[in-house]
Amino acid sequence: MIKPIERYIFDASELVGQEPAQLFSKNKKVVYAIACPLGAVHKGKVNYSRWKYMELPDSSSIKGLSDRVEIRAGFYDYLPSEGISKALEWHVNFADPDLFLAYGTDLFAQDEMQVAEHPVLASLKQKLNVLRCDASTVDGNDPTPILISGAERRCFVKTDANSLEDRPFGLYGNAFGRASEEAIRKATVIIDPPTITNLICIAAPSGGDGKYTEDEILYILHTTYTGFRAALIESDSSPVIIHSGYWGCGAFGGNRILVTWLQALAAQLAGVEQLILHTGDPDFGELKKSWAVIETDLGNEAMPINTLVQKILAMGFEWGVSDGN
């Protein structure tokens, strides 16, 4: 049985009481005060584990790959999925190599948003610092995904553009820090009772330019496969549903077609029951068309992983540009 590099299990109430969030952003303080008012009760256990990267299977066929993928417009809503009995659901955290690095700052991208909505994660970060844990999602060139289960989601923050609620440019990314305190209050909605979220924290490759290299493609596959496989191990034989999206395709400028398709491949290799990709944009027809071209070119026959990677490399996928967030 594959085991994590390290594991800690914390009582959520004790964790928040002993290691309060360290917030430097006035707007993050507003969200935290709404989510965790004086006297708030934090329940359950928070399970933290860090995993050594796992070798890919020797061979693979992409037959049926798209059948286990659902593409959804919009962003994470954390609502339970229907159709797969007793499935455990995991959400990908678009992590920095240093776990939750910017949670206390004005930045409000996907990673920071998840910490704001799951405030126990801020206390977890502080506790890991006290314990001097190497809470890194990357070790040198090797991915070391971090899995966190049992985190309460105590609020959600509306990030859409809405002039009537004082956020004409939305709140995502750098816009959050520029917003008024009143706009933040209007955008923050309490979840009562809190729901529970499980996270797969993985860092996407960054700094790429031009055509993807073999090492970059392998890094994406190794990272997502290891994170997804670890989620299956943590789920103790229950069916697994994983939620993800354009991981590394915003600020890092990753190629949306390649990155989403490689996630689908990793999910199939890992044995994930269903991958749900949240694309934000309701018009994702072009994504599906591009996938179909890839799968037609590759065919359904089983082949060594190295051969599959070489065929993907030959397609000449190129990096995009940062969205500035």
Least confident of 15-19, 188-192, 226-230, 302-306: 302-306
Domain range for 255 is 6-21+42-154+192-314
Q: With respect to residue 168, please indicate whether it lies within any of the assigned structural domains.
A: no
Rounded to whole angstroms, the Cα distance separating 125 from 94 reads 16
User: pLDDT by residue (tens digit) across 187-221?
Assistant: 999 999 999 999 999 999 888 889 999 999 999 99
Q: With respect to residue 178, please indicate whether it lies within any of the assigned structural domains.
A: no
- Kind and range of the H or E run holding 310: helix 305-314
Q: With respect to residue 319, please indicate whether it lies within any of the assigned structural domains.
A: no
Mean pLDDT, the chain, whole residue set: 93
pLDDT at 284: 65
Percent of the chain beyond pLDDT 70? 98
- What's the CATH code of the domain at 62? 3.40.220.10
pLDDT at 292: 85
Report how many domains make up the chain: 1
Burial 11-40 (b: 16+ CB within 10 A, else e): ebeebbeebebebebebbebbbebbbeeee
Q: With respect to residue 53, please indicate whether it lies within any of the assigned structural domains.
A: yes
CB 122 within 8 A of CB 28: no
* Tally of CA atoms within 13 A in the half-sphere of 72 that contains its CB: 17
- Single pTM value for the model: 0.96
Q: With respect to residue 166, please indicate whether it lies within any of the assigned structural domains.
A: no
pLDDT at 48: 98
pLDDT at 286: 72
DSSP state of 204: P
